[in-house]
Every structure is written in structure tokens, then in C-alpha cells.
Structure 1
Amino acid sequence: MTTFQQPTNVSNGYPRPDEQKDTVKSVYRQVAEEYDERIPGAGPSDDLFTRSERDFLIDSISSGEKVLDIGCGTGRFTVPMADKGAQVSGLDISRSMLEVAERKLHERGLSADLREGDMAHLPFPDASFDTVTSMLALMHIPLADRPAVFAEVQRVLRPGGRMLLGVKNSVFEEMFTGDRFASVDVTDVESKQLLFTNTRSGEEYVAPWYSFSPRDLTTLFATVGMTVTRLRGNSPIAVWLADEVLRDEGVRSFVGAAERFLAEVPPFNHFGYHLLVEAVKPAV
């Protein structure tokens, strides 16, 4: 198993940020070519989860919009945003993941400005983007880097711009520590790690992983002068139902409709398996 090691100089019990980032680079170099096979999982619960993600993000993007996708990986959302006509830039810490994204864009006759880099030091000028997006990537940020990342997001957004993000919900983890949907990429809540199992190489890989609560996100955005305008709980109902139940088309349709209704209604939105959030930078 490849894991991240505790160095002698740690802060708050965690490895140094630079060591955690090196681990993330190493892990994604190993799984880049198989990543799209690993996520999302297969089954009706995964389908509901993924549809909610895509509806939240892709339906919010317009042609001509200048978008920065941070932690873009293999382009799971970068590619469809470019396909909608957005002017997309993508940033990821892993060159191997970006190479997959570049190949997918080329195959579809699309283009995006893809760059290797660190979310805590975005290589873009102030007020460059209408929207910053990040789906399933912010959990790899070392805790010490969180304030810098959110400050960088605020910096590169134009006045009135917004961030759209998806993260795993630490409030949900207080109720259930297992992974409900994923079967190969599994979060170890207690150890703050993401485990990559059943890889093509036969090895298991481990990377740092820190979930967010609604309060975490509200505070981080408020600290940089941004306001949370939408907070959606992804899969607040389906997460508790077995796939055998959800395979019934009538049940799945009812659950999907109920989730669309309840997912942004307090307090249900605070208890989703993941959180989907929009935050806005002041216009002036």
C-alpha cells in the first residue's frame, strides 16, 4: 500500500502541506488512466447522485462564460462545460490527470486552457473569471491551505462572480462513516484518508482527504468576503436506500423528485451525503 507518512515536523497532527501535495500527485499519477472507470460507481444510487451533481453544475453554465475548474482532473466537468460553449480553464496538481483531460477534449474537437498547478497559488490574474468550479477536489487540500485557496478563488473572480463546488459532508460522516456508493475509492473518516482499492496495478494507494461541514464552507467564504447563496444536500434520501429498492423505477422516480424538492430545504440540505454549494463575490 502506498500511503502518506507522518514526518517529524507536523502541524496539528497532520503531515506538512507540501508532503500531502506530493502524495496526491503520486497517487493520481498511478490512477489517472483508470480514473474515469472508477468514478462514478455503478447502480441507481450512483446515477441519482451523479445526475444531481451534473444538474447543479452544468445547468448553471452558459455559453461564453469564463470558467476556471480547479482540481479539474480528467475533465469530468471541464469537458461538458467546454461543450456548452464556456471559455474554460482547468487547473490540477497532477500532470497525468491533465493529459487524460487533454485527450478527451481533443477527441471531441473542444479546447480548454489546462494548467498544472496549486489551488493555493492560482496562476491567473485578478478578476479573470465569471465562475470558479470544483467538484470532488477540495477535500485533498491540506487544512492549513484552506484559507489561501478560498482567498485565491475570491481574487480571480470578477466582482459579482461565483463559485460552484461539490464536497463530501462531514456532518453526514457523523451519522455514517462508510462510503455509501463508492466501491473502490473509499473514505477512511477516522484517518482522514481516501483509499484507492482494486487498482489495475493491484496496489492500494492512500491520499489525505478532509471533508467539509456547511459551517466550514460558510465561514471560509465569509472570511474572504463571499456569501453562500445556495446549499444543496446531494442524496439526502437515496443514500439511506439499498440499490435493490432503487432499481424499482417507481421508487427511483419518487426518490429523485423528493430529493429535488428537499435538497435545498433546511435542515435536509445539511444532511446530504455530499454538499453542492454556490457562493457569490460582491458586485462592488
Structure 2
Amino acid sequence: MNDKLDQEVILNQEDLLNMLDSLLEKWDEEWWNEFYSDKGKPIPFFVNAPDENLVTYFDKYFDDIGRALDVGCGNGRNSRFIASRGYDVEGLDFSKKSIEWAKEESKKTGDIALYVNDSFFNINRELSSYDLIYDSGCLHHIKPHRRSQYLEKVHRLLKPGGYFGLVCFNLKGGANLSDHDVYKKSSMAGGLGYSDIKLKKILGTYFEIVEFREMRECADNALYGKDICWSILMRRLAK
């Protein structure tokens, strides 16, 4: 009997997804902890400034009070801004190091954001929990076979009419690979770049697109913005 072959039997959908996970490089908690261990690295988003598009969303679209989830919150820069606008905000990140950093910064500013060290795929929250879910830099790292699982969960956790804000690589910032190419090359190449056509096709299944544009380049430290990214605001469809 071959134990290895017996263990590799695909019995259900989750087995299939796990098998596809194993075909690609593993960016696990240990990898991200190492990434966030040196705060002085010249990483563009290692700043203490919110995304420029997020600031405009509050000025144009959002109510003064709500509940928000900041997925992949990193050092908490966007969570802190959301909290400053009166929202009850939860910052979520897979990396323990990034959550420690976010908590340190929150002690300095006195904001009341709650920070949680976990994967978005693992968290268990009630349906329709949030007025706003914000993702600055996660989607382009999510493997194509997990993408629908991710977006369906965002949809379930949003209240009817709730907003989903997204920042992700365009083709100037990320790898120009088709979903098929990812598996042919066994690599996400550091993060997928999306064309506007591909991204609208993917997101339009779940959300009404309110605003879709290139992120504005910001030269000062008051706001974060890089034109290698898209910035998209959506509302939950009734699906």
C-alpha cells in the first residue's frame, strides 16, 4: 500500500483547492512575519498615512458612523484613519508582526481600532456585519482558485448596500499573467496585475461598481498613493 498516494486522493472541493494551493509558492504567516520584521525597509506602504482614495470615499460616500473591517491591515494606517472618522473598525492581518506594529501605533494615537491576527478565510463573523470592508493590497496576492471564495465571503459579510473598497495592482504594478499562466508557471510572480476589463468582469459578479480609477500618485507623507494600483469602490449587490 502506498500511503502517500492514499493521502492525495481528492474527495471534495476543499481537497481540490488545497491541492491547487500546493502547486504555488507558499506565502504563509512566517513569510509575512519576516516581511514586517524590519519597519525601516523602503517599502512604499510602510508609512503612517491612509490611502488617498479612502479619504475621498469618506468625503463623498460614507456616513459618519458605521462598522468596518480592514482586511490585510498591515501597520494599521488605514484602520486608524477609519477609526478617526467615527467607525467601529477591526484591522485584520495574517502576520503577527504587522498586528504588533499596528497596536504600537494605535497606542501613540489613542485610536480604538481592534486588531486581530488571523486569515480572512478563517474568521467567523455574522452575516451582514459590516458597512465597509476595505482591502488595500490583498486581492492581488489571492490565488485564482481562491478568488471567488474570497469575494463571496466579502459579499456575505457586508450589510445590504454596504461598501467594498479595494486597492490592487494594475498591469504597471503586478505580473501580467492570465489565471492559466499562474498554474503553468507555478507562481503568482509576487502579485497579479489586473487589467480594467478583467477586474470589472470579476468584481461585477458580486458588486455594483461605484468608482473605478487609477490610484493617484502622492508625493508627500500625508496620504499614500501609487499609480501602479487601481482604486475601486463598490456596493453589495442583492445576490
TM-score in terms of structure 2 length: 0.71
Alignment of 1:103-114 (within 5 A): 103-114=104-115
Q: Deviations over 1:63-97 (max 9, x none)?
A: 42211110111112112221222211111111221
Match of 2:193 among 211, 231, 234: 211
Report Cα offsets for 1:201-236 as digits up to 9, x if no partner. Answer: xxxxxxxx2222223322222323x1112111125x
Unpaired runs of 5+ residues, structure 2, are: 1-7, 10-18, 177-184, 220-226
1:283 CA displacement: 6.5
Q: SS at 2:92's partner residue?
A: strand
Query: How has the CA–CA distance of structure 1 residues 21 and 95 changed in structure 2, closer, same or farther, with 3 Å as cutoff?
Result: farther
Tell me which residue corresponds to 1:193: 189
Q: What is the CA–CA distance in structure 2 between the aligned matches of 1:35 and 1:59, rounded to whole Å?
A: 27
Shift of 1:127: 0.7
The counterpart of 1:33, out of the listed 15, 19, 37, is 37
Cα separation, partners in 2 of 1:126 and 1:18, compared to 1, 3 Å: farther
Map of 1:206 onto structure 2: none
Contact 2:173-2:229 at 8 Å conserved across structures:
no
Q: Note closer, same or farther for the CA distance 1:23–1:160 as it changes in structure 2 (3 Å cut).
A: same
Alpha-carbon distance in structure 2 between the residues aligned to 1:162 and 1:33? 32
Which residue matches 2:215? 234
Equivalent residue of 1:223, what SS?
Answer: coil
TM-score between the two structures when normalised by the length of structure 1: 0.61
* Alpha-carbon separation, structure 2, partners of 1:67 and 1:41: 20
**Secondary structure of residue in 2 paired with 1:82:** helix
Aligned to 2:202: 220
Is 1:136 paired with 2:91? no
What root-mean-square deviation, in Å, do the aligned CA atoms of Structure 1 and Structure 2 show? 3.6
Structure 1 residue runs of 5 or longer lacking an equivalent are 1-7, 10-14, 178-189, 195-208, 240-245, 247-271
Deviation of 1:121 (Å): 4.1
Q: Distance in 1 between matches of 2:27 and 2:170?
A: 23
Distance in 1 (CA, whole Å) between partners of 2:128 and 2:25 is: 26
1:71/1:148 Cα in 2 relative to 1: closer, same or farther (>3 Å)?
A: same
1:148–1:55 Cα change, 3 Å? same
Letter in 1 for 2:55: I
Using the TM superposition, name which of 141-150 and 56-65 deviates more. 56-65
Equivalent residues in 2 for 1:144-223, closer than 5 Å: 144-170=145-171, 172=172, 192-194=188-190, 209-223=191-205
Please tell me whether residue 282 in structure 1 is matched to residue 233 in structure 2.
Answer: no
Runs of 4+ displaced beyond 3 Å? 18-22
Q: 2:41 matched to 1:60? A: no
Instruction: Please give the alpha-carbon distance, in whole angstroms, between the structure 1 residues aligned to 2:56 and 2:68.
Output: 14
Decide whether the 8 Å contact of 2:141 with 2:188 is kept in 1: no
The whole-number CA distance in structure 1 between the counterparts of 2:45 and 2:105 is 20
- Write the distance in 1 (CA, Å) between the matches of 2:22 and 2:104: 29
Aligned to 2:81: 80
Give the stretch that moved more between structures: 100-109 or 17-26: 17-26
> 1-side partners of 2:140 and 2:87: how far apart?
25
What's the offset of the Cα at 1:104? 0.9
- Please give the secondary structure, in 2, of the residue aligned with 1:79: helix
In structure 2, relative to structure 1, the CA distance for the partners of 1:36 and 1:144 (3 Å cut) is: farther
Render the CA deviation track for 1:96-145: whole Å, top value 9, x for unaligned: 21111111112211122222222334422111111110112222212211
Q: 1:230 to 1:41 in 2, by over 3 A?
A: closer
The 8 Å contact of residues 24 and 188 in structure 2, kept in 1 or not, is answered as no
Per the alignment, in what secondary structure is the counterpart of residue 77 of structure 1? Answer: helix
Give percent identity, aligned residues only: 20
